[in-house]
Amino acid sequence: MSDTEKLSTSRRGLMAGAAALAPLAITGEAHGATPNRRALQRAVDAGKEASIARLQDWIRNPTICAEGLNIQEGAQYMERLARDAGFQTTEIVQTDGSPVVFATWDVGAPKTLGVYFMYDVKQYDPAEWTTAPPLEARLMDKQGFGRVVVGRGAVNQKGPESAFLAALHALRAAGRQPPVNLVLVAEGEEEVGSPHFHQAIAKPNVNAALSRAQGVFIPSASQDPSTGNVTLTLGAKGVIECELTASGESWGRGPVRDIHSSTKAMLDSPVWRLVFALQTLVSPDGNTPAIEGWFENVRPLTDRERALIARQARNTSEADWKRRNGVQHFIDDLPWQQALERLASQPTVNIEGLVAGYTGPGGKTILPGRGTAKLDLRLVPNQTRAEAERKLRAHLDAKGFPDVQVNFTGGYDPTQTDENSRIVQAELAVCRSLGIDAGLNPRSAGSWPGSVFTAAPLSLPAAQFGLGHGSGAHAPDEYFVVDSTNPRVLGLTGATMAYIDFLYEMAR
């Protein structure tokens, strides 16, 4: 029994309840836009093992921008994936950083869809992985989920992206073409804040191809692992990635290099200098940005957005979320709905890591000459990256830390798409046709560079979409489900068919 057949069997008992939980003010009726769907399902099923092997091989060939690993090779690999899937033209667009792969597939259709991929993955520490090595791409059984692929990039984003590529392979195997023209842009710097992606999008031939699209989407695996429900996001927070460094050299006080810690009795400490600078960035509890002027352009949630979040709170499990994320309390012990409102509406200042002095076994009794903090700052409408960068620098100067260096390594603005846009309505229609309860969330607390599409000059709707499940992004033991034991949650073939349905819905 295919994933879709399992879901059809499971959904019969859910339809009455799903109708009562329908999203607010969502228009349109469920329908089947995919012609001769069974033939396509057979093609998807026949290509399943090849799809799994494709995903495994991709995981085994990582591009890690932060480490300079396989930058050009990763772009070439991505270009081959696009060509193999059927894209007619491919180009590796060089930037001041990692290349962007640009590909088109013109089938002469009246409508065009833009597709965003990332081919890079986050760094990893093999010692932290307990189920399988991060690059082995091992197939294994995960209790309560089914058969999964474990590996760095399995869900972020190679699993969902592989499912979309599998949809294109299945269309060709069934003797068809996509029902819409496709424009693909795939970058290799998403995990470091996409510092050069905009350079490729500004290239005249790339910009012209994208400008014809109805919208742009990034593949995802968004089903709740217990209920199979989906929350579709209407945007994403922006982000700034940066490093703050305090040093004896720039400060003119303390040592310029690591020296014996006994000298602390008469010398200043650059690392304490860094700690004191960091303390000025947030409230005493660490939970609210205290950078001067940080909130002056923050847009509060609208009544509609609060209604969407309230629905999300009713249809998701606080206990399950806490269990899966190893959390016992929210900030201020907020109830679930208020915690979700805070998640969607609040900008953040987060310390990703602190690097200073000696961190190996035992002590080393040194007074370090420098310390660095790696930060990410999440932005909400109507903040901008440029504004936030200026305010951070001005704040440190005003607080007496002009010597603390700030190195901005990447980032982009927040993004927002109208729920009535064609791309969002197509996502909802696919979920309805599969009997999947789908709600809307004002924005993801995570980030992707959708603002390069939603901002001028393109001004396109941009959204995340994909069914199935995976977890562990940026963390050890990352996985993507290929065979689900939960009949409400799709595996690889179901996620693949959902992308085919999405393409036909966009063409409708």
Range of the domain at 129: 3-235+415-507
Q: How far is CA 190 from CA 14, 55, 187, 197, 327, in A?
A: 38, 19, 7, 8, 27
Given a cut of 80, whether residue 10 has pLDDT beyond it is no
Do both 446 and 404 map to the same domain? no
Do both 359 and 403 map to the same domain? yes
Q: Is residue 450 part of a domain?
A: yes
Do both 402 and 450 map to the same domain? no
Q: What is the dihedral of CA 185, 191, 195, 197, to 10 degrees?
A: 0
Query: What confidence category does residue 315 fall into, taking pLDDT thresholds of 50, 70 and 90?
Result: confident
Do both 389 and 430 map to the same domain? no
**DSSP H helices in 65-158:** 71-85
Q: Tell me how far the alpha carbon of residue 161 is from its chain's centroid.
A: 12
Contact between residue 210 and residue 114 where contact means Cβ atoms under 8 Å apart = yes
CATH number of the domain to which 80 belongs:
3.40.630.10
Do both 43 and 54 map to the same domain? yes
Average pLDDT over residues 59-86: 98
Do both 53 and 139 map to the same domain? yes
Given a cut of 80, whether residue 314 has pLDDT beyond it is yes
Given 372, 397, 412, the domain boundary residue is: 412
Given a cut of 80, whether residue 2 has pLDDT beyond it is no
Given a cut of 70, whether residue 96 has pLDDT beyond it is yes
pLDDT of residue 424: 97
Given a cut of 50, whether residue 15 has pLDDT beyond it is no
Q: Is residue 154 part of a domain?
A: yes
Q: Is residue 330 part of a domain?
A: no
Given a cut of 90, whether residue 17 has pLDDT beyond it is no
* Count of domains for the chain: 2
Q: Is residue 32 part of a domain?
A: yes
Query: What confidence category does residue 324 fall into, taking pLDDT thresholds of 50, 70 and 90?
Result: confident
pLDDT of residue 5: 54
Do both 219 and 253 map to the same domain? no
Model pTM score = 0.89
Given 368, 391, 412, the domain boundary residue is: 412
pLDDT of residue 25: 32
Q: Is residue 319 part of a domain?
A: no
pLDDT of residue 7: 57
Which long-range contacts link 419-424 to residues 24+ away (Cβ below 8 Å)?
A: 419/25, 419/26, 419/234, 420/27, 421/215, 421/461, 421/463, 422/214, 422/215, 422/461, 422/506, 423/214, 423/215, 423/216, 423/217, 423/461, 423/462, 423/463, 423/465, 423/506, 424/232, 424/234, 424/461, 424/463
CATH number of the domain to which 350 belongs:
3.30.70.360
Q: Is residue 440 part of a domain?
A: yes
Q: Is residue 322 part of a domain?
A: no
pLDDT of residue 11: 45
Q: Is residue 80 part of a domain?
A: yes
What is the CB-side half-sphere exposure of residue 422 using CA atoms within 13 A? 16
Structure token pair of residue 319 = 């206990």
Nearest to 410 by CA among 388, 435, 440: 388
Do both 200 and 122 map to the same domain? yes
pLDDT in tens, 389-439: 999 999 999 999 999 999 999 999 999 999 999 999 999 999 999 999 999
Do both 407 and 481 map to the same domain? no
Given 394, 412, 430, the domain boundary residue is: 412
Do both 249 and 376 map to the same domain? yes
Average pLDDT over residues 179-205: 97
Do both 170 and 115 map to the same domain? yes
Do both 252 and 175 map to the same domain? no
Structure token pair of residue 121 = 């993955």
